[in-house]
Structure 1
Amino acid sequence: MILDHTLQVYVAPPCFNDADLTNYLTETTWNKVAERGYEPESACTAEMMKPVARTMWNKVRELAGFIPSPWAW
Structure 2
Amino acid sequence: MKKKDRKLITGLLLTFVVLLVGGFVIPVDVGAPSDTRTILDHSTQEYVSPLCIDEAEVTNYLQETNYGHALSLDYEPESGCSVDYYQDADVPLFMAMLQTVGIADQKWSEEDMLENA
Q: Could you say which TM-score interval applies, normalised by the shorter chain?
A: 0.7 to 0.9
TM-superposed deviation, 1:51: 3.7
Give the corresponding residue for 2:75. Answer: 38
Q: Does 1:19 align with 2:56?
A: yes
Q: Is the 8 A contact 2:88 2:107 kept in 1?
A: no
Q: Which runs of 5+ in 2 are unaligned?
A: 1-37, 113-117
The count of residues paired between Structure 1 and Structure 2 equals 63
TM-superposed deviation, 1:30: 1.0
Q: Which runs of 5+ in 1 are unaligned?
A: 60-68
Q: Higher relative CO (CA 8 A, sep ≥ 6), structure 1 or 2?
A: 2
Identity among equivalent pairs (%)? 37
Name whichever structure is richer in helix by fraction.
2
Name which one, 1 or 2, has greater alpha-carbon Rg: 2
String of CA shifts for 1:3-35, please: whole Å, max 9, x gaps: 000000000110010000000000001111111
Give the corresponding residue for 1:2. Answer: 39
String of CA shifts for 1:22-68, please: whole Å, max 9, x gaps: 00000001111111000000000001111465532x33xxxxxxxxx
**Alignment root-mean-square deviation, CA:** 1.9
